[in-house]
Structures are given as C-alpha cells and as structure tokens.
Amino acid sequence: FAIDFKHLNIKTVRMLILLGLLVGVAGDLPVHCTYKQIEGNWVFTLNSETFKPSLQDSQTYCGHGQPDQVLNIKPSKVFSFEKPLKEEVTLSEPNTATSSTYGKGTWTMIYDEGFLVSFAGIEFFTYSLYVKKGKNYASVCDRTTLGWYKQADSKWGCFFAEKKDKAESYSVQPELTVKWVEPSYMSFLQKAQLYDDYKEAVEQINSSQSSWKADLSPQFLGLTVSEVSSHFGSKKPKPPGPFSSFIESKTSLTPSELSKLSLKDQESLLYFWEKKLEDIPSSSLPQSWDWSDIDGTNYVSEPRQQGNCGSCYTVTAVSMLEARLRIYTSFEFDHLLSMQYLIDCSFYTEGCDGGYPTLLNKFISEFGIVSEECMPYLAKNNQCKFSCQDGVKVSVKDYGYVGGYYGASNEENIMKELRARGPVIANFEPSWDFTLFKSGIYQSFSRRETSTELNDLDMREAELDWERVSHSVLLVGWGEENGQKYWKAINSWGTKWGENGYFKIKRGTDECSIESMAEAAVPYVVSYN
C-alpha cells in the first residue's frame, strides 16, 4: 500500500497536512515517563490513616478531582502525612514487584502517565509527578503525585512515592490547549477550514490506492477540522498484572478441546472463558472470527456516538463489558451500561478530556457500574449524581493489558483473548485520513516505515519504550481478504461513519500502533431486575 504523491496537487497536499496536524490534539495529563525511568528501587510513603471509600467523599480522591483534572503542582511541592508509613518496593523487568513487607507481586505502566503495583493483600496506583513551570509542565519521573492504596480489608489510603535512584525530569510538556504547530511555510493554512472542503482529498486518496475507500462522513459535515479533532481524543500528543494468566487452568488442552475454538455452539463459545492464553496455540485459532456475526447473532452493542467529548475510551470500555456479558450469560443480561457514570464519577480519569480503559476497569472493580437508563449519556462532564430504579449493577473481577503489562500485547495474544472471552479494547494513533474512511481495509496515508513494523513482536521485544496512541476502539474479530489480514473493529462515531460504524484495519504489523496497547476485563453481574 502506498500513495503516489506525484499525482497529488499542492492544494490537496496542503489540506492533508492540515488534517494531519490535528489528529490527537485533545489531551489529558501533561506527563510522559517510560518504564525504563520507572523501574528501580522506590520508597512508598503511606498515610497510615485509612478510610472506607465513597464516591461522595472527597477523601477518596486523594487530592484529585471527580473527574480528575490537571493539578497545579509547583516544583517546590513536598508531600507529607502526619502519620507516615514507609515501605521499600522494587520494580523490575518485565513486570515483577518485590517488597520485604508485601512479598512478590506485579506491576505495569499505565501508558506513560503512572503505574499500578499489585501484591497479595494490597494494591497501589499513582501518577508520575508533573510540575508547573511558567506556562509549561515538566515530568518528574522519580517522584509521584498523591495516589491510592487499597488493602484486602477494603480500607483505602493515600500515598506518594520517591525513587531511591534518581532520574532526571524527562521533558517539558505544553499546556493542555489545542496547539497548531505550523512551520513558517504553512502560514497560508486557515485554522477554521471546514471538513466539507476535503472532497478533493477523498478523490485523491481513492485514485492513489485500492486498499480502502474514502468519503466524507455525514456526521462531520459543517464542522471545522478543529472540531472534528475532538472526536479522537483520549490522550495527548507527546514526544516520541499478568492478564494472560490471571485465571488458574490446566497447562494443556487436548485436540478435541482445541477444535472448539472454531465451533460456534454455546458450549464452545464459553469453553475458553477460564483458560490461560498460553494454553491456546496460535495454530489452533480459526482463520476468521467475528463476535458481531456468530452465525447471524450479534453480541456487540450498536455503534455509539461519542459526540463532542473525548470519551472514546469510555465507549470502548462499556461496549467491551456489554458484549462479554452477553456472551457469558447467553443474552440473559442484555442491558446497556452508563458511559456518563464513568465520565462523571471516576477520579482516575479526566472525563471528556480523556483517560485509559484499564483505569476505568479498575474503578468499576471497586465501585461497579450502573445502567445507561440510570445515568444517560450527555457527552459532557457533569456531576456524579444518580438515582437508579432498575437495580442493574455490574463489576469486574480481573482487568489489565493483554499480555500481562503495558507493552506486552501483540497480534497473537490479542487474537487468543478475543476468541476466549470476547471483544478486546485497542488503542491506536490514526492519521487524519481515518475520518474519511468508508470501506475496505484501512492503512494510514502516513503509515510507518516497513522497518518499524512489529510483525510478531510486542513492544518490549522490539525494544520500544512507548508508542503514541490517541483513540480507543473495540476489536470484535479478525479475518483475511485478498491476502490481506485485518482486524474488524467498532468505532465510536455512530452508524453513519465507515461501514455502519465498523471498520477493518491491517493486522499483524502494528498498523497505527493498533496492537501496542490492548486491554480487557472479565465482568460479572452484581444485580439486575
């Protein structure tokens, strides 16, 4: 797949460059730290005064907002508690945590913003520290903001951490506003240019390649390019727990058992729900799979419309849980879950300003999630207030990154998780042309060089510390057309975009980082009428 730039006129190229500058400009927290900066020896300082968590008690937020927001922390800020308790914790590759008090556990980065540490009996989560310097922010990767710890007795406390072996501040981050980074030779571009003006770009894309078809999406007509950019929006532009084995299982499966991977009766669909991914050989996976069409049955919710709110991470999280519950209960549970509840009530994420699905799943594991009927979607931040009459409540018992930690997911383990338990959340960095997708197998106009494609490797194996992502979608299946492997996914831009809200994207090469950060959870029903 390649674009012949010789056949693109200068007006089209200018328009395409403008769109490219805007993808992913919405942001959340201004911090960037990699696992290499976080691994090492830390001192965790715990507030020994614990509390029972409550969504209505600001003590539960540990100095953060509901939803979370950017903190105005000065470089001279020193955190302290009246009754501190200090514990030394070592974080090692790839995901091992050790402590003389807590024993051996696991840890993972949460993208590039924080880290989650889990021991038997206690769990910690915090963000890396970022401080205000004039109009900008600097990441301080050897310190953290105030974070949370959770004990097995359900009591919580706040904590902060400082690395014993110091690291330098990584970089200065820009303010959290939409930035137009225009070289001097691009001063002719108009910031308020309409999406409608890109008809010529559509024609040029369609005449330059045959992998997929472009068209103007009806929902974006009349919007400026800046307004369209808000429909991406889970993470900001920045500089360049073992989920695979959390359920005990036997170590091998018989040929008869493995044959069920390709079968679609109810027993076979559920057979691998409690199996470890490493027990499923890749060679036994079917050539294609699609949870939106299992012999005519669709387990996936109707494509949602996120609107002018950076809530794609919320859309994919609830859609994943809904689909998996339909699979597990054979449609006995068929309720929609509330995105607005997560936007307004989660203090781990930033509402319409973005967030990460794994943190939403952590929140749901602690407080549950209510139905859409209880708290309908508003596409904006609001107060965490609800009164539910339908009795619907769902929680999750396990959650995390596919592969066990951030950086461990790849084509193979994503396919296994998707087949075993249902649709999987994927995060990626689509280019400007993704808004124009109509049909086919998407590959970015600004695709990565072949030498940087991961193929069968995960990020750590490829010695990558981090990959930029800015949009979350839900993978519902995979297949192959005309020799091209693809993922089938559902977007959060309604049914008028793409193929009735769905799209296919090239599989197996980490196209647009689609295989870099896969996430999933195992839901269960607490109650429903």
CA angle (320, 488, 363) in 5-degree steps: 20
What are the distances in angstroms from CA 344 to CA 56, 65, 294, 314?
12, 10, 35, 11
**DSSP bridge pairs for 129:** 140
**316, 355 Cβ separation under 8 angstroms:** no
What is the chain's length? Answer: 529
Cα separation of 300 and 491, whole Å? 12
- Which one-letter amino acid corresponds to residue 520? A
- Which one-letter amino acid corresponds to residue 448? R
Q: Which residues contact 459 (CB under 8 A, 6 or more apart)?
A: 407, 408, 465, 466, 467, 516
Distance between alpha carbon 269 and the CA centroid of its chain, in Å? 25
Cα separation of 312 and 101, whole Å? 39
Cα-only R_g, the chain: 23
Tokens of 92: 């090692």
**DSSP bridge pairs for 489:** 475, 503
- Which one-letter amino acid corresponds to residue 266? Q
Please name which of 192, 234, 288, 325 lies closest in space to residue 504, comparing C-alpha atoms. Answer: 288
> What crossing angle do the helices spanning 312-329 and 357-367 adopt, rounded to 10°?
60
Q: What would you measure as the largest C-alpha separation in the chain, in angstroms?
A: 69
Compute the half-sphere exposure of residue 322: CA atoms within 13 Å on the CB side of its CA: 25
DSSP state, residue 447: P
**DSSP bridge pairs for 40:** 91
CB 387: neighbour CB atoms within 10 A? Answer: 7
Tokens of 141: 């990767």
Cα separation of 128 and 33, whole Å? 7
The phi, psi pair for 67, rounded to 5°, reads -70, 170
**DSSP bridge pairs for 428:** 471
Catalytic (active-site) positions: 312, 471, 491
